[in-house]
Structure formats: C-alpha cells, structure tokens
Amino acid sequence: MKILTLRTAIALLLSYFTVSLYAQNTIISGTVKNNVDHLTVSSVSVTIKGTTEGTFTDPRGNFRISTARALPLTIVLSSVGFETKEVEVSGTSENLEIELTPTATLGEEVVVAATRSATRVMESPVSIERLSANNIRTSPATSYYDMVGQLKGVDITTSSLTFKTPSTRGFNFSGNTRFNQLVDGMDNQAPGLNFSLGSFVGLTELDVDNMELLPGASSALYGQGGINGTLLINSKDPFKYQGLSFQIKTGMNHIASPQREDPGWYNDWSARWAKAFNNKFAFKIGFQLLQAKDWIANSTVDYNRHTRTTSNGTRQSDPNYDGVNVYGDETNMQDNGYTMQSLAQLVQYQTQQGILQATGGTLDILQTMNAALPANATSQQIGAFIGSLPAALQPSVTNLVPFYFGLRNDVIPAASASRTGYAESDMVNPNTVNFKLSGSLHYKFNSRLEAVFAGYYGTGNTVYTGSDRYSLKNAKIGQYKLELKSNSWFLRGYTTQENAGEAYNATITARRLNEAWKSSTTWFPQYVAAYSQAKLSGADDATAHNAARAFADQGRPAAGSSEFKSLFDQVRTTPIPAGGLFLDRSDLWVAEGQYNFKEVIPFVELIVGASWKQYSLNSQGTLFIDYDGRIKINEYGAYGQLTKKLFNERLTLSVSGRYDKNDNFKGRFTPRATALVKLAQDHNIRLSYQTAYRFPSTQQQYINLEIGGGQFLVGGLPWILNSSLPGGKAGPGLGSGTVFRLNNATQPIGSYQYRELKPESVTSYEIGYKGLIAKKLMIDVYYYTGEYQNFLGRTLVGKQMSLTQTQIYSIVENAATMSSQTDGSVKVDPIKVKTSGYGIGLDYRLTSGLSFFINYYHDKLEDVPSDFYAQFNTPKHRTNFGLGHAGFGKDKRVVFNVTGRWQSAFMWDADFATGEVPAFFTLDAMIGYKYPAINSLVKLGATNLLNKYYMNAYGNPQIGGLYYISFAYNIF
C-alpha cells in the first residue's frame, strides 16, 4: 500500500511539472506569404527579436516556435528577396497570417569568403563573385558547376563532360593546382592529384545553397594553393530547407557531331530529402546520377612533342606521325635512339657478327655478298647465292637481304618512323557516369551550438588531361566531416579517401598494347625491311612508307574487335609500368579551427585560426616513388585577421597573415592588407595588397612516370639525384654521369646542376569600385597587377645512356635564368613573371523581374623571357552576357534566361600538347514554367544552342550543343 501511494505521488508530481512546463511555454506559429501573389514563402528565417531563438518556414510557409519567454514578443522575419519585417505578438500567438513584400536584392547578398565573416557583397574589401540557389534554378546550364564560367574573371577548362576546371587571372589548366575549392569548408582536392575533380564529388545540385568565388590571390585566409582563386560551395541547411525535392533532366547531345555518328542521350536524376525535429535535430540525404555520352577529343593534327609544334602531316604523309589525340604513335625510332638507316646498319652489323661467330670467323657475310652479288642483283641471283650457303645460315642471310641492299643502294633514309596508334574513341569509353551520394546529421545543443556529421561520396567515369589523357574509370572519392560550430567559432575534422578504381593513362595503355601484340624490336626492323624492298622495286617514298606500315602492321588488332578488346582490357588493368593502370589510394586528413572574438572584443573584429593537414600518398609505385609504402606529408598553418571600422564606418581597414609549414619545405608567411572606402551609401572603393603561395604539388614532389615521347616525368625533390630508389627500383640518377639541360628540340644547352625546390609565390595589388545606382544597376570594376616568383615549371634534362641513346627527363624546377661567371660559377636568377588585368561588370535588374548582365575582362602576361614557357593559357579578351526574366505572363509563371560568352583566340601550352585555341562564341538558353502550388519548375533548355563546336584547351575535346528538358519538384 505504501509502495502504491509513493508511486502515485511521484506520478502526480511528474504530471505537475510537465503541465507546469508546458503552461510556461509560449507557442508562436503561423504562415508566411508573398503579398504580391499571395503564395506561401518557404525558408524564411523567423526569430524572436533580441535572441537567437527561432526557426524557418517549411515548404508550405508554416512556422512554429516554442519559447519560455512570455508575451508580448516581437518576431523578425527575413528572407533573401523580401523586406525584413517585424511583427509584435501580444494577444493571439498561433495561426498568424504574415505577408512579406518582395524587394530588390542587388548588392544585399551576404558573403563569407572575403573575410571569413558575414559581409554584404557591396562591402567586400576584395573582389568577390557570388551565385545563389535562385541563380542555379533559372540557369540554362546543365550543371551548377558550369555557371561558374559566367562569372567575371573566370575561365573554364573542359577535359570532358563532367571534368571542368575553373581558374582566374591566368594559368589555366585541366586540373589546376593553383586554384582552391572548398565544399562546406572542406578542401575538395583529390589527395593524389592536388586539385579538385570539379563537381565529380561533393554536393548534388539540389543541395547547393550558394557559391562564392575569390579571384586571384587568397592564401592569407585559406592556405596554400590559392594563387589563382578560391571557390567556396555551400550546401543548404536542413533546418531551413526541408521536405522532399527531386529533379529529372533528360536530353541529347552530339547532334551533327564530328565525334560520333549518332546522337547521345543525356540523363540526370537527383533527389534531396531533409527533415527537422523541434528545431533541435535535423538530417538530409541526397543523390544524383548522371549518364551521358561524353565529348571525345579527336584532333588528328600531327604534333612534334620535342619541338612542341604542329604540322600538316597525316598518317599517310608523315612516317613519324604523332596525332594529338591518337595514342600509341608516340613510340618511334628516334626516341629509341635510331633512324631507319642506323637501325638497318645495326641489323646488318649484328648479322655479320653472328655469322662470324657461328663460322669461327671464317665467313664475313658482307665481304662475301659484296664480291658475289651486284648492287642491282635480281631475285634469282640472290636466291642462288643464299642456296649456296650452309642451311643453318640461310634464314639469317634471307633476313639480312633487304637491309643490305637498301644500305648498299642508299635507299634507306636517316629518318624516323612511329608505331600506328589508336584514336581516343578506341581507347576511352565515351559512356560517362557520375553517381553522388551525400548526407548529414545536425544536432543543436542550444540556439548557438551545433554539431554536424556529414559525408559526400562520388563515383563514376570521367576523363581529364594532364601530361596525357587519363580515363578515370570507376574512380571513387569520399569526404567525411565531423564539425562543432557556434556563432563565433568552429572546430572540424575531415578526411578525403581517394580510390582511382580502374583509372588508366590512355597514351601508356596504347603504347603497351602495341608492344603486347608485336614488340617494337620486331616492328621497327620489319618496317625498315619492307620499306627497303619497296624502294628497291622502284616505289616512290610515300608508297614505300605505306607498304612498310602495312607489312609491319600485319596482325595488328583492329579497334573494336574481340582481339582488341581482350588485349586492351588486359593492358589497362595491368599496373604501370607494365600496363596503363595507376593505383592511387591516397588519403587526406585535416583538422582545423577558428575563433572570432567579436563578442569578447566589440570595438574591433579579431579572427584567429589554425589547421593541420596530412597527405598520405599510396600509388603502389605506379605514380609516385612510394615503392616501400605510403609517403606521408604534413602541413601546419595558423592565421589571424584584424578588422576595424573608422570615421563613422566610412573606412574599414583589415590586415591578415598566415604562416604555413610543409615537411619538405621551409615555412611561408603570407600577409594581406585591405581598405574599403565608403564614398556614399552603396558606393565603395576597395584597395588590397595580397600574397599567395603554393607548395609544389604531391606530384611535383614525388612523381616518377613515363609519358609519351619516351620521356619520364620526375619530381623536384633531391631523390631525383639518386640512382636507386626505395624498393630496389632504379632512379633517375641525375647526380652522376653526363647530365645536361635540353632545349625544346632536345638539343643540349649546358650542364645540369640540381637546385633546391622552393614554393611558388605571388604578390598582388588591386583597386576596385563597386556601386549601386537606384537599387537597379550595380557596377563593379577592378584592376590588378601580380608578380610571380619561384615559378614552378618543368625543364628537360638529358642523361647520356650510351653513344646513341639519351634518356630524357622532365623535371620540376623553379624558373630561373642561368649565366656563367668569370670564376667558372653559374649565377642563378629567379624569373619573376608579371601579370596584370582589369574587368568590368554591369548587373541591371528591374522590379518587373527583368534582369540583364554583361561583363568583360582582360588578363595579360608581361616580362617573360623568350625561352621560358609560362603556360599562361589565357585569352586576352572575354565577355559574358545574360538576359532573363523571373516571371511574366499569367500569374508570372513563365521564366526565361539567355546567356552568352565570347573569347579571343590564344596559345595553349601544356605538357600534353601546345597549339592555338580558336576564338569562339557560345549561347545558352532556357524557358521555363513555374507551378507555385508545388514549388516546381519545368525547363526546356540548351547549352551551346547554335551547336557550333568549340574547345577551350588544346588537345581537349570540342564541345557541341546539349538540348534538354527538366522537371524539378519543391525547389523554391
């Protein structure tokens, strides 16, 4: 009885406290609508004024706040594109009906990238570009990542449909190690490559909230690598953006294509689901699957990899032909130390010596043939002579005949011939696939402190251009993050796990495939013998070469045949150096934190932060010199920034500095100073001094890879001086023997001496103006100069291997001029490469929903020594424009957007190929219809609407039109 009474008392007590607790809480709820079209507005921030308590409206515009505070209260409602509104809640606090007024948003966007703290884009002290989720929704681009190319100052290098590399202010590459990309604060680079794979891994399109781009130097806050820009991609908050969203996009490309006979399908499906519970816990999950027929690089231009020049040669007219996008023809006699003539002489000499040895020195076959046969001997005479010899010698002499008579009659030239190659379409699967899966869990301990666990995974097939064309087949990259963040600080740790899958080098694979069906030690002599026979029969040079190739190519697997497929699969899945497969399983581990003292020191903004990175390289010797196991490289960094507003906020000064240390290099300090001068409301001048640097990439430090043309790419660390490497592997040994520098024609230009590798750096000055006129026209103008020092590039070095053969190495060095001194020493002066540029952007928006933008920018390279290949790879003139409408017609449901780009011709210079990229103009367009009741949009669109094929990098594929229709549900 006592136990029952006690239980009853406890139950009553708990009920009392529960009732009391709910009695003390105030519930504020309601619906938010647009006061123009009276449709509900989602993702509106609703907070209690003076506090951090609040929530967001759901996809139906509803909100609910539970607070211990008593009425009356004031709630603040804010959302991009609407005027902020305060509503006093005194009597009825539930089922409120609140309407917001649309407003012009030009210049009101908030950015974080410029200063690592929230700042109006109008008041950014450095140049910055921003794209919002609304920009992405209404863009004609097929991918959110493609939109970056419309921003002022940006160039895009397209290696394939799903591998695109942005850069700013020059030095464009396919995979740019001078450009940083961060996704939700995580460095998005592939650890073994040191550059991002575009949008191959990261956010799905439906989960992108905004993108912020910092052009030019940006290392002071974001660390090494940000020499030519930093891109921040931020995802949607599941507390703010809830519900189920999906998008179905289907289309077609390769219309009237020079790359394939039939059009190709393009399919892109994505979905996102997010849910919050009591504004304490939230999750989101999303996926995206893209399947398409990729663009194919198909240039057959004859390219000389030694002189880096092109010619009008073809496979039929040039025996030593090497097509830009034809692979396997890089193997030639010249790079093996021979000409056709010297190879014939070698065969003749070896046969002579072999017969002398077999006969005990009694028969010199050359002297005997000279005496017994005339130079124009008939086949009957030759047959009779061979028949008179011992049977054991007859096969050797029969083989000798074409070489002997070709040399005797001087019909074999001192020329080179190359193996017959295969087109990229034969070596690279055009079926591109990209699957992305992402998700996160969020928990709010209170209104100020939140924990996040997030993961991003990407896999599929794509192609990129480095020293060769690489097919990343079944590549996989995962990023996983644990973060704790508040209003003033954050701590995060994350890792990137890379798995190259069945990635292979197309050039190496083709060369090894050729060796597999017939070795060059057999093919080259067969070619010379057949050529000699044709010439001795009276054929002209071209006919003789074609006959020689046809004879040597007997047994060559035809592209697409079962024999070819079997041999190709065998070679591409065999690791380098025996095959074309590289086994990159590298990792990146990062820990970092930041603290903003704004609540502790109110009169000045002070931000400090620190980071640690570890690269763990694992290619099993196929890419790096990691023959004995993983190579680990640690980087440590710390930064600080001080910002002060002066003279009634008419002047804002900021100074920043960052120090970083890499295991293999001395520490680097990168300062930054900025000033923002407020001329009037929404009219600002910005001044900045910025520095940036990058440590040599992991490949520039440790790569050891044979490439086309018989060259080896090697790193720039002292290990290249060694003749032996870990695991008993042979090293370059550039510290011994006869080693000399080469020009691009592989001619010696002086002795080689190793120089310590140093980080590359740039110092940049910029002045800019940003102004807003009548809340409708925004003007942004900038001018900058930059000076690069210790520029990282490659130098050709030759090591004498024999009297007839020199092994060529392409090594990483800091660019410098070298001059001999009177005392016999060599003076080394680092080359300082200067750049400058300017740009202007106009953005005009009317309240009716019509908008227009246009920008122009110009970059140039200055003071470059004539013999230095800077690889600037940038057109001098580029312009983008766009015209769009956010909604017209009945209920303002029809939207459209048209964008265009023009750029001038320029010279592209890279390890893979050098040549001119022609000027081009391309036009994208879309028209859409909105379904406001379900927050959905149907789009009919096209990229490269006019279907005028163009390329933006030499040796990369040409890009044609892509036409699509899409339906997106719950995206507003």
Q: pLDDT digits over 641-683, tens only?
A: 999 999 999 999 999 999 999 999 999 999 999 999 999 999 9
Residue 22 pLDDT exceeds 70: no
Listed residues 79, 100, 121: the one ending a domain: 100
**Interaxial angle between packed helices 340-358 and 394-408, expressed in degrees from 0 to 180 and rounded to the nearest 10:** 140
- Which segment of 86-90, 221-225, 308-312, 494-498 scores lowest on mean pLDDT? 221-225
Closest to 713 in 3D by CA, of 468, 465, 473: 468
Mean confidence (pLDDT) of the chain: 90
Q: How far apart are CA 894 and CA 937, in angstroms?
A: 10
Q: Render pLDDT for 903-913 as a digit per residue (tens, 0 to 9).
A: 999 999 998 99
Q: Which helix (H) or strand (E) holds 543?
A: helix 541-552
Q: Which helix (H) or strand (E) holds 603?
A: none
Number of Cβ atoms within 10 Å of the Cβ of 431: 12
- The 8-class DSSP code of residue 806 comes to E
Contact 696, 759 (CB under 8 A): yes
- Give the percent of the chain with pLDDT over 70: 94
Instruction: Answer whether residue 80 is part of any domain.
Output: yes
Residue 6 pLDDT exceeds 60: no
Cβ-count burial of 5 within 10 angstroms (0-12 exposed, 13-18 middle, 19+ buried)?
A: exposed
Cα dihedral 189, 912, 713, 187 in deg (nearest 10): -10
Predicted local distance difference test score (pLDDT) of residue 104: 66
Domain range holding 40?
A: 23-100
Predicted local distance difference test score (pLDDT) of residue 109: 78
Closest to 296 in 3D by CA, of 321, 268, 262, 267: 262
Q: How far apart are CA 16 and CA 22, in angstroms?
A: 10
CA 951 to chain centre: 16
Beta-carbon contacts of 15 under 8 Å, excluding residues fewer than 6 positions away, are: none
Listed residues 100, 134, 160: the one ending a domain: 100
Q: Average the pLDDT over 699-713 and give the result.
A: 80
Instruction: Answer whether residue 371 is part of any domain.
Output: yes
Tokens at residue 533, please?
């026979």
Instruction: Answer whether residue 905 is part of any domain.
Output: no
What's the length of the chain? 972
Q: How far apart are CA 45 and CA 30, in angstroms?
A: 13
Tokens at residue 186, please?
């995580």
Number of Cβ atoms within 10 Å of the Cβ of 84: 12
Q: How far apart are CA 929 and CA 121, in angstroms?
A: 30
Q: What does the angle CA 848 – CA 853 – CA 854 come to, to the nearest 5 degrees? A: 155
**Interaxial angle between packed helices 520-536 and 541-552, expressed in degrees from 0 to 180 and rounded to the nearest 10:** 140
Q: How far apart are CA 289 and CA 761, in angstroms?
A: 39
Number of helices (H), then strands (E), in the chain? 13, 57
Instruction: Answer whether residue 45 is part of any domain.
Output: yes
Contact 844, 788 (CB under 8 A): no
Residue 398 half-sphere exposure, CB side, CA atoms within 13 Å?
12
Q: Render pLDDT for 297-346 as a digit per residue (tens, 0 to 9).
A: 999 999 998 888 999 999 999 999 999 999 999 999 988 888 999 999 99
* Alpha carbon separation from 133 to 233, 309, 437, 891 (Å, rounded): 11, 45, 19, 22
* Alpha carbon separation from 610 to 212, 613, 639, 917 (Å, rounded): 22, 10, 6, 42
pTM of the model as a whole? 0.89
Q: Residue 218 — pLDDT band, cuts 50, 70, 90?
A: confident
The strand pairing partners of 155, in sequence order, are: 167
Higher pLDDT: 871 or 500? It is 500
Predicted local distance difference test score (pLDDT) of residue 90: 85
Phi and psi at 388, nearest 5°, equal -80, -10
Contact 425, 463 (CB under 8 A): no
Phi and psi at 305, nearest 5°, equal -75, -15
Q: Average the pLDDT over 713-735 and give the result.
A: 88
Residue 352 half-sphere exposure, CB side, CA atoms within 13 Å?
15
Predicted local distance difference test score (pLDDT) of residue 152: 94
Domain CATH for 41 = 2.60.40.1120
Predicted local distance difference test score (pLDDT) of residue 867: 64
Closest to 478 in 3D by CA, of 459, 492, 503, 491: 459
Q: Residue 10 — pLDDT band, cuts 50, 70, 90?
A: very low
The strand pairing partners of 247, in sequence order, are: 270, 968
Instruction: Answer whether residue 631 is part of any domain.
Output: no
Instruction: Answer whether residue 81 is part of any domain.
Output: yes
Domain count along the chain: 2
Strands 309-311 and 326-327: unpaired
Listed residues 100, 130, 148: the one ending a domain: 100
Number of Cβ atoms within 10 Å of the Cβ of 298: 18
Q: How far apart are CA 887 and CA 417, in angstroms?
A: 63
Number of Cβ atoms within 10 Å of the Cβ of 474: 14
Q: Spell out the SS3 assignment of 862-911.
A: ECCCCCCCCCCCCCCEEEEEEEEEEEECHHHCEEEEEEEEEECCEEEECC
Contact 429, 399 (CB under 8 A): no
Q: Average the pLDDT over 693-710 and give the result.
A: 84
Predicted local distance difference test score (pLDDT) of residue 805: 66
Contact 482, 449 (CB under 8 A): no
Cβ-count burial of 746 within 10 angstroms (0-12 exposed, 13-18 middle, 19+ buried)?
A: middle
Beta-carbon contacts of 566 under 8 Å, excluding residues fewer than 6 positions away, are: none
Predicted local distance difference test score (pLDDT) of residue 66: 86
Q: Average the pLDDT over 710-730 and give the result.
A: 86
Contact 871, 308 (CB under 8 A): no
Q: Render pLDDT for 430-487 as a digit per residue (tens, 0 to 9).
A: 999 999 999 999 999 998 899 999 999 999 999 999 888 999 999 999 999 999 999 8
Closest to 265 in 3D by CA, of 254, 277, 256, 276: 254
Q: How far apart are CA 112 and CA 184, in angstroms?
A: 12
Is 389 strand, coil or helix?
coil
Cis before 577 (ω within 30): yes
- Which segment of 252-256, 410-414, 611-615, 794-798 scores lowest on mean pLDDT? 794-798
Contact 922, 950 (CB under 8 A): yes
Q: Render pLDDT for 136-151 as a digit per residue (tens, 0 to 9).
A: 999 999 999 999 999 9
Instruction: Answer whether residue 222 is part of any domain.
Output: no
The strand pairing partners of 612, in sequence order, are: 591, 636
Instruction: Answer whether residue 372 is part of any domain.
Output: yes
Residue 4 half-sphere exposure, CB side, CA atoms within 13 Å?
1
Amino acid identity of residue 104, one-letter, is A
Q: How far apart are CA 630 and CA 614, in angstroms?
A: 12
Is 755 strand, coil or helix?
coil
Residue 390 half-sphere exposure, CB side, CA atoms within 13 Å?
8
Q: How far apart are CA 844 and CA 126, in angstroms?
A: 22
Cis before 72 (ω within 30): yes
Q: Render pLDDT for 148-202 as a digit per residue (tens, 0 to 9).
A: 999 999 999 999 999 999 999 999 989 889 999 999 999 999 999 889 988 888 8
Q: Spell out the SS3 assignment of 664-702.
A: CEEEEEEEEEEEEEEEECCEEEEEEEEEEEECCCHHHHH
Q: How far apart are CA 30 and CA 958, in angstroms?
A: 54
Contact 26, 73 (CB under 8 A): yes
